[in-house]
Amino acid sequence: MSDIEQPAGELWGREGFREDPYVTAETLEEAGDAPAVILPLGVWLGLTEEIRNASNRKIGVVVAPGESVEPLLPLLDSIPVIALEFPAFSDGRSYSKAELIKNQHHFKGELRAVGDVLIDQVAYMLRTGFDTMKVNHAVTLNRLAGHNLHDVPGYYQPGRGSHTVPGTYSWRRVPGA
Amino acid sequence: MSVKVLTANRLADGEVVWLGANGEWLEHIDGALIARHAEAVNALEEAGKSAIKSNLVIDVNVIDVEERGTDLFPVRLRERIRQLGPTIRLDLGKQAEKSKAA
Amino acid sequence: MYRYDEFDHAFVSARVEQFKDQVERRLAGELTEEQFRPLRLMNGVYLQLHAYMLRVAVPYGTLSSRQMHKLAHIARRYDRGYGHFTTRQNIQYNWPALKDIPAVLDELASVEMHALQTSGNCIRNVTADHFAGAAADEVGDPRPYAEILRQWSSMHPEFSYLPRKFKIAVTGADRDRAAIQVHDIGLHLKKNESGELGFGVYVGGGQGRTPMVAKKVRDFLPVEDLLTYTTAIVRVYNLNGRRDNKYKARIKILVHETGTEEITRQIETEWQAIKETDLKLPQQDVDAIDAYFAPPNLVQRPEGWSELAAARKADPAFSAWVDQNVTPHKNPDYGVVTISLKPIGGIPGDATDAQMDLVADIAEKFSYDEIRVSHEQNLVLPHVAIADLRIVYDLLLTDGLATANAGLITDIISCPGLDYCALATARSIPVAQRISERFGNPERQADIGELKLKISGCINACGHHHVGHIGILGVEKKGEELYQISLGGSGDEICTIGDITGRGFSSEEIVDAIETIVDRYLEIRTDKEETFLATYRRVGAAPFKDALYSEVANAA
Ligand code: HEM
Ligand code: SF4
């Protein structure tokens, strides 16, 4: 587990920064009576179905790059948030996991990127299916605050948050939902 | 006996430079600040770190050189090539400027 | 050839603007080197020994005259009057100042070129057969598919932070001139029984410190599945490739450790899930890209053959050049001309600004405006009328570009080595130069026949030494340069990794050692038709080792 505890208010999404309703904890007990909590994958998988689906609190899961998301795939409907970790910006495994979770398996909840995110990666994350990010990189935070996503005017791949333009090649897209 | 000097590439244009005894980054090894004992080497390393911080140079390294009379002669071939230029293009690099000046 | 549309132009200029901003912030001290390094690498900017180096992509090795003139201009204005053509069909500039690089990128963008994805752990510049669209033995032109892959891999959101760099090569003929089996993905364009085009798919080849020949994972992949299948391969790699050790991070290690059968199963499973998605290629899109690569309208020039016969008779040097450097074209009135960038004793792959301009002018007049860069570090004029060979030869001769050695022992591939490269352990260019001089006599090299000699200045193997018929690897031992020899490598359709002969040779010994090997070959070949590689495959390493380690030892 990497340290993803940050002051509230640093969760970023397309609409800007907002307060993070979730606390991160190693176990459910540690979370006390927090109404929304994110647990490590192993712990989350060990919960009973009853606890996971309890209506009085939301229990999300955080997945490290080396962990497989396979066991989550049949359970996606019961997960409010999946956080994929980026302990180092150069570790790109979580992009493929985002593709699997969001686009191949149609996860409806919040997909979150946490960790070392470079500003140039934010656009990639949005396109592979991330909804939010919790970033510890100061430059990135500054640029996000300035709404500068370092994006390009067109993409050569299908992906979320983009649409086709008639009359061009099937793999091309332009930004905008 | 080999002694040490500090070398780097200049940020703006990549030019090979050595830290001079005068504290400036020099384009030629002559006049480089020479470290003859461990403490002086530490000082070179510290100077390197602060040079990186001040964004003047990159790829800073302490290297071994031999003193031959008044000349400084880098021990490794790699460093001799950095000092002079490509061995296969004597018209390029510092060796060319030197011969032009001569 | 492919022309940018508005979409491409907007994309590339946005990237140039971004990089300009980044360079300015770096020079102003707002970005540290640590933050800036990945950004500059994404734009093809390295730091070498003497200066920065800019690596410019030449997608699948195809250039127009206008583009070549621009490369010449950049060499003249921002560099030291030359550039280095590489085995990756790129060009590298060895002396640009960081502060000038945004301007260079602007210049490149004005002729539809860039330096994107020439570095970093992303899908790199896609390479292809340098005779594409011209060679007589071609099944189909590989470049439209390389172009589709180039577009699809540009700033790929999922695949820009792979475990390691990723190289794709495409060939359009059974004769593999693109070395596809030493690439991460190799695609062999071919026809099935019903005459449809598709690909044989190879995965997990590579050189570097652990050379491996790629494994075939699919015998025939329909064209419409090109992007879905490639996505499946790269996704399996991205998720499972090793990230704990840089030297084990290439897909070749994953394939090796997982086993071909299992990796194929994983790829197929992933593919089944995405086969029918947006990435399935509509035929109309393939056709539209294909149209850019329509062969030029070649004028009939049947008079060429009789003129050629006369010209050959009159000038044996010209005749030797035709034999060695002209390859059959699809159209019998035409030939494919290899311009050797390996003058005897010269620096392999280097071309001056004047030479680039000259080649651009010749291509404009005599090769339908097309030039290719080959992975053998030569240039190619793909469509030259037989009737124009003489004049083209004469023009090339004016600036030292008519060396008749394509495919011969002096047509050496050499990486920059310790003369430029920050990772090098030994020099490679001077060794290439001395070997070239030793064997430079035209009769002697012609007698030796086809022999691919390749040199790298460190274990990274940029000079392809593992697949050289004779490979040389420069290492550093006790502060001295030492050269290891390997024999019997080959990067074509029968791909093999060379075998190391034994202890290495000093810089003084290495040229003699190569001569010893060549002399032994000449002694034991069955006849002149048996090439060095064929002889090696027949007799193995023993006769060569004998020669090397007895004679050289005795002489010493
Ligand atoms: C001077 C700057 C260069 C640097 C820093 C560099 C770096 C590297 C490294 C680290 C590898 C090993 C990759 C691995 O095994 O995972 C490699 C491989 C390779 N490089 Fe370079 N290289 C440079 C220049 C070149 C040049 C000039 C060429 C072409 C002549 C080239 C073409 C290749 C090829 C063909 C390979 C082997 C194929 C493979 O990726 O397995 N590189 N390079
Ligand atoms: S093989 Fe080594 S020395 Fe040669 S270019 Fe590659 S990294 Fe540099």
Distance C86 CA to ligand 1 centre (A): 10
In short, whether C423's Cβ falls inside 6 Å of ligand 1 is: yes
The answer, yes or no, to whether residue A4 has pLDDT greater than 80, is no
Residue A43 structure tokens: 């712990």
- The reply to whether C186 and C91 lie within a common domain is no
From the CB of residue C545, how many other CB atoms can be counted at a distance below 10 Å?
17
- The reply to whether C104 and C142 lie within a common domain is no
**Which regions of chain B are under pLDDT 70?**
1, 98-102
Chain C nearest-CA residue for B85:
C50
Which other chains touch chain B, taking contact as 3+ CB pairs less than 8 Å apart?
A: C
Chain A nearest-CA residue for C150:
A156
In short, whether C454's Cβ falls inside 6 Å of ligand 1 is: no
Contact C233, C185 (CB under 8 A): yes
pLDDT at A55: 76
Of C220, C215, C210, C230, the residue nearest C167 (C-alpha): C230
Q: Is B50 exposed, middle or buried (0-12, 13-18, 19+ CB in 10 A)?
A: exposed
| Chain B, chain C: beta-carbon pairs less than 8 Å apart | 74
Contact C385, C367 (CB under 8 A): no
Contact A171, A157 (CB under 8 A): yes
- The reply to whether C103 and C142 lie within a common domain is no
Contacts of C458 in chain B (CB under 8 A): none
What are C126-158's pLDDT values in tens digits?
999 999 999 989 999 999 999 999 999 999 999
pLDDT at B2: 83
What are C321-369's pLDDT values in tens digits?
999 999 999 999 999 999 999 999 999 999 999 999 999 999 999 999 9
Residue B20, min C-alpha distance to chain C (Å): 18
- The reply to whether C103 and C196 lie within a common domain is no
pLDDT at C556: 45
pLDDT at A146: 80
Contact A24, A4 (CB under 8 A): yes
Interface of C with B in 373-412 (CB under 8 A): none
Per-residue confidence band for A162, with pLDDT thresholds at 50, 70 and 90? confident
In short, whether C423's Cβ falls inside 6 Å of ligand 2 is: yes
Scanning the structure block, which residue is given the tokens 């970093």?
Answer: C120
The CB-based long-range contact list for B78-87 (8 Å cut-off, 24+ gap) reads: B78/C49, B78/C418, B78/C424, B79/B7, B81/C49, B81/C418, B81/C419, B82/B7, B82/B16, B82/C49, B82/C50, B83/B16, B83/B29, B85/C50, B86/C50, B86/C419, B86/C420, B86/C429, B87/C419, B87/C427, B87/C430
Are C52 and B14 an interchain contact pair (Cβ–Cβ within 8 Å)?
yes
Residue C17, min C-alpha distance to chain A (Å): 10
- What 3-state class would DSSP assign to C166? strand
Rounded Cα gap, residues C70 and C79, in angstroms: 13
Atom number, ligand 2, closest to the C-alpha of residue C416 = 5
Read off the CATH number of the domain in which C237 is found. Answer: 3.30.413.10
| Chain A, chain C: beta-carbon pairs less than 8 Å apart | 102
Amino acid of residue A29? E
Distance C202 CA to ligand 2 centre (A): 25
Model ipTM value: 0.94
Q: What is the mean pLDDT of residues A12-34?
A: 90
Distance B76 CA to ligand 2 centre (A): 17
Amino acid of residue A34? A
Contacts of C510 (CB under 8 A, 6+ apart): C431, C434, C472, C483, C485
Angle at C70 between CA C66 and CA C74, to 5 degrees: 175
pLDDT at A88: 86
Are A152 and C274 an interchain contact pair (Cβ–Cβ within 8 Å)?
no
In short, whether C407's Cβ falls inside 6 Å of ligand 2 is: no
Domain boundaries, chain B: 2-101
From the CB of residue A30, how many other CB atoms can be counted at a distance below 10 Å?
13
Contacts of A70 in chain C (CB under 8 A): none
Q: Which DSSP string corresponds to C71-127?
A: HHHHHHHHSSSEEEE-TTS-EEES---GGGHHHHHHHHHHTT---TTSSSSSB---E
Q: Report CA-CA distances (Å) from C144 to B90, C118, C122, C199, C227.
A: 43, 20, 21, 13, 13
Residue C420, min C-alpha distance to chain B (Å): 7
In short, whether C432's Cβ falls inside 6 Å of ligand 1 is: no
User: Is C482 in the B-facing interface, judged by CB distances under 8 Å?
Assistant: no
Atom number, ligand 1, closest to the C-alpha of residue C207 = 41
- The reply to whether C431 and C534 lie within a common domain is yes
pLDDT at A177: 62
| Residue C188 in domain | yes
In short, whether C455's Cβ falls inside 6 Å of ligand 2 is: no
Ligand nearest to the CA of C456: 2
User: Is C532 in the A-facing interface, judged by CB distances under 8 Å?
Assistant: no
Amino acid of residue B99? S
Chain C nearest-CA residue for A123:
C157
Interface of C with A in 218-247 (CB under 8 A): 227, 235, 238-239, 243
Chain C nearest-CA residue for A90:
C161
**Which regions of chain C are under pLDDT 50?**
552, 556
Atom number, ligand 2, closest to the C-alpha of residue C420 = 8
- The reply to whether C230 and C277 lie within a common domain is yes
Buried b (16+ CB within 10 A) or exposed e, C498-529: bbebeebbebebbbbbbebbbebbeeebeeee
How many structural domains comprise chain C? 3
Chain A nearest-CA residue for C249:
A91
Interface of C with B in 340-379 (CB under 8 A): 347
Q: Report CA-CA distances (Å) from B24 to A13, C260, C490, C505.
A: 48, 58, 51, 42
Amino acid of residue C303? E
Interface test with A, best of C114, C117, C161, C234 (most A CBs within 10 A): C161
In short, whether C168's Cβ falls inside 6 Å of ligand 1 is: no
The answer, yes or no, to whether residue A3 has pLDDT greater than 60, is no
Of C213, C142, C217, the residue nearest C174 (C-alpha): C142
Rounded Cα gap, residues A135 and A125, in angstroms: 12
Distance C464 CA to ligand 1 centre (A): 9
* pTM greater than the 0.80 cutoff: yes
- The reply to whether C61 and C198 lie within a common domain is no
Contacts of B85 in chain C (CB under 8 A): 50
Element (H, E) at C288: helix C283-292
Domain of C39?
6-109
Interface test with C, best of B17, B76, B81 (most C CBs within 10 A): B81
Note the maximum CA span of chain C: 68
Domains of chain A and any CATH numbers: 11-175 (3.20.20)
Chain B nearest-CA residue for C431:
B88
| Eight-state DSSP code of residue A103 | I
| Residue C378 in domain | no
Contacts of B78 in chain C (CB under 8 A): 49, 418, 424
- The reply to whether C104 and C139 lie within a common domain is no
Atom number, ligand 2, closest to the C-alpha of residue C426 = 3
Buried b (16+ CB within 10 A) or exposed e, A105-133: eebebbbbbbbbbbbbbbbbbbbbbbbbb
Alpha helices, DSSP H only, in C154-259? 226-240, 251-258
Rounded Cα gap, residues A140 and C158, in angstroms: 19
Ligand nearest to the CA of C50: 1
Read off the CATH number of the domain in which C95 is found. Answer: 3.90.480.20
Rounded Cα gap, residues C184 and C142, in angstroms: 17
| Residue C115 in domain | no
Mutate-to-test residue for ligand 1 from C91, C93, C462, highest number of ligand atoms within 8 A of CB: C462
Contact C11, A153 (CB under 8 A): yes
| Residue C173 in domain | yes
Of C27, C50, C481, Cβ closest to residue B82: C50
What order of strands is seen across the sheet that includes strand C62-64?
Answer: C62-64, C370-373, C379-385, C334-339, C326-328
Are A139 and C14 an interchain contact pair (Cβ–Cβ within 8 Å)?
no
Ligand nearest to the CA of C476: 2
Contact C143, C133 (CB under 8 A): yes
How far does Cα C495 stand from its chain's mean position? Answer: 16
| Residue C14 in domain | yes
Contact C227, C152 (CB under 8 A): yes
Strand partners, B18: B7, B26
Are C419 and B87 an interchain contact pair (Cβ–Cβ within 8 Å)?
yes
Distance C169 CA to ligand 2 centre (A): 20
What are C242-273's pLDDT values in tens digits?
999 999 999 999 999 999 999 999 999 999 99
